[in-house]
Amino acid sequence: MIVRVMGEGQFTVDVSHADLLNGLDGELERAVEAGDETAFRSALTELLDQVRAVGEPLPVDSLEPSDALLPAEDSSIDDVRNLLADTTEGLIPG
Amino acid sequence: MSVMKRLQMIFSAKANKALDSAEDPRETLDYSYQRQLEMLQKVRRGVADVATSRKRLELQMQQIKAQSDKLEGQSRQALAAGREDLAREALTRRSGVQQQLTDLTAQHAALQAEEEKLTLASQRLQAKVDAFRTRKETIKATYTAAEAQTKIGEAFSGISEEMGDVGLAVQRAEDKTQALQARAGAIDELLASGALDDMSGTAKDDITAELERMGSQGEVELELARLKGELGAGSAPEAIESGPQAAPATAAPPGAAGTTNLAAPAVTPRAEEERQ
């Protein structure tokens, strides 16, 4: 599957790592919901580190859409909330 | 639902919405390509803006560094002249200036990181836009409207995701730069007001003024000593001539030696007053 780390690029990640990534993603989601900055930071850092460790960067000229998107490393918990709150207009220029 | 899946859906919904609005999907290819070029322009402008802010910060850092060095020099000078109070004042100011410098250094690092990120983002987008242009021509040449639909969808969603990502990156860089520019403006005002002391070297700050005053006082003393020496050695007859005019006020007995001695005390008290 293809995972995009925002502000960084896309990675091809073997499906065998999906469980691990989903677990970390769950931690990230709980941290965002709880507004727990510390948990958020550690979950995001670990998730991104894992993607970089097990993933292969996709060629830059690839036009493949991603299966999953991850917030940029320096995102704040509010940045992520805003991203998730985005519905059809506004934040994301399309 | 998970964060990464939700984000993916939000981004792909954007792409689909744009695609669905077109009657002949092939029409969207050129339109999208135009928007991609615009986005590239926007990212490049973003890189240039961040670079401008970074350079402004570098200039301020140089000025503040110069001020810090100047204050350190002043503290040495003051200490050498035996004025510990003045040296302490200079060092106290220097620590405030150093604090500013530390602050600016951190901001500079943040801007530099932002600049690098945007530069990379613009290179990635450029590569994808080039790939899209090639794909676009192939699709327009080879496929009927009906056949083109899927092909366009594939090319479109990938680039649209990139555009969304880059658009956010530019937005963030702009926000950060604006916040820093406001602070840089405040520092410029501080520099201009002289609160961080004058960097141009035209106006004198009070420590410089005091050090110069001490220096010129030393020169006055030297000059006095020289004049005294001259009076004592070569100008004795002149002193004798003026002697009788001053003599009536004093009870001192007249004499060549006594009159020359009078000349010295007459000057010294005045120098003492000046020193106060």
Give the CA distances from residue B66 to residues A63, B71, B190, B201, in Å, rounded to whole numbers and listed in that order. 51, 9, 15, 10
Q: Distance of alpha carbon B106 from its chain centroid, rounded?
A: 12
**In chain B, which residues have their Cβ closer than 8 Å to the Cβ of A88?**
13-14, 17
Q: How far apart are CA B19 and CA B23, in angstroms?
A: 9
Banded pLDDT at A24 (limits 50, 70, 90): very high
Q: Which of B3, B14, B154 is the closest to A29 by Cβ?
A: B3
**Distance in Å, alpha carbon of A74 to nearest chain B alpha carbon:** 11
Q: How far apart are CA B159 and CA B165, in angstroms?
A: 10
Model confidence at B77: pLDDT above 70: yes
Q: How far apart are CA A61 and CA B159, in angstroms?
A: 10
For chain B, give the percent of residues with pLDDT over 90: 36
Average pLDDT along chain B: 80
**In chain A, which residues have their Cβ closer than 8 Å to the Cβ of B8?**
4, 66-69
Interface mutation vs chain B, best among A50, A63, A74, most B CBs within 10 Å: A63
Residue-level pLDDT at B226: 85
Higher pLDDT, A26 or B221: A26
Bridge partners, residue A68, by sequence:
A3
Higher pLDDT, B49 or B191: B49
The radius of gyration computed from the CA coordinates of chain A, to the nearest angstrom, equals 13
Banded pLDDT at A6 (limits 50, 70, 90): very high
Question: pLDDT digits over B241-258, tens only?
Answer: 544 454 444 444 444 444
For chain A, give the percent of residues with pLDDT over 90: 81
Other Cβ atoms closer than 10 A to B128: 24
Chain A interface, Cβ < 8 Å to B: 3-4, 6-7, 9, 21-22, 25-26, 28-29, 32, 60-72, 80, 83-84, 86-88, 91-94
Q: Which SS3 state, helix, strand or coil, does residue B272 take?
A: helix
Nearest one of A83, A35, A22 to B169, comparing CA atoms: A83
A27 burial type by CB count under 10 A (0-12 exposed, 13-18 middle, 19+ buried): middle
Banded pLDDT at B22 (limits 50, 70, 90): low
- pTM (two decimals): 0.71
Banded pLDDT at B12 (limits 50, 70, 90): confident
Q: How far apart are CA A40 and CA A46, in angstroms?
A: 10
CB B109 within 8 A of CB B58: no
Most confident range, picked from A5-19, A79-93, B21-35, B169-183:
A5-19
Banded pLDDT at B215 (limits 50, 70, 90): confident
Q: Provide CB contacts within 8 A for B108, sequence distance 6+.
A: B54, B57, B58, B61
Nearest one of B155, B116, B121, B119 to B30, comparing CA atoms: B155
Q: Is B59 on the interface with A (CB under 8 A)?
A: no
CB B17 within 8 A of CB A94: yes
Question: pLDDT digits over B79-89, tens only?
Answer: 998 889 999 99
Q: How far apart are CA B166 and CA B257, in angstroms?
A: 95
**In chain A, which residues have their Cβ closer than 8 Å to the Cβ of B121?**
7
Contact B161 A4 (CB under 8 A): yes
**In chain A, which residues have their Cβ closer than 8 Å to the Cβ of B128?**
60-63
Model confidence at B127: pLDDT above 50: yes
A36, amino acid identity: D
**Distance in Å, alpha carbon of B147 to nearest chain A alpha carbon:** 19
The full DSSP string for B107-147 is HHHHHHHHHHHHHHHHHHHHHHHHHHHHHHHHHHHH--HHH
Q: Which SS3 state, helix, strand or coil, does residue A70 take?
A: strand
Q: What is the mean pLDDT of residues A35-63?
A: 95
**In chain A, which residues have their Cβ closer than 8 Å to the Cβ of B127?**
60-61
Give the CA distances from residue B202 to residues B87, B195, B197, B198, B224, in Å, rounded to whole numbers and listed in that order. 22, 15, 11, 7, 30
Min mean pLDDT across A20-24, A85-89, B103-107, B128-132 is at: A85-89
Nearest one of B129, B149, B103, B108 to B42, comparing CA atoms: B129
Banded pLDDT at B267 (limits 50, 70, 90): very low
Q: What is the mean pLDDT of residues B171-185?
A: 84
Min mean pLDDT across B12-16, B126-130, B194-198 is at: B194-198
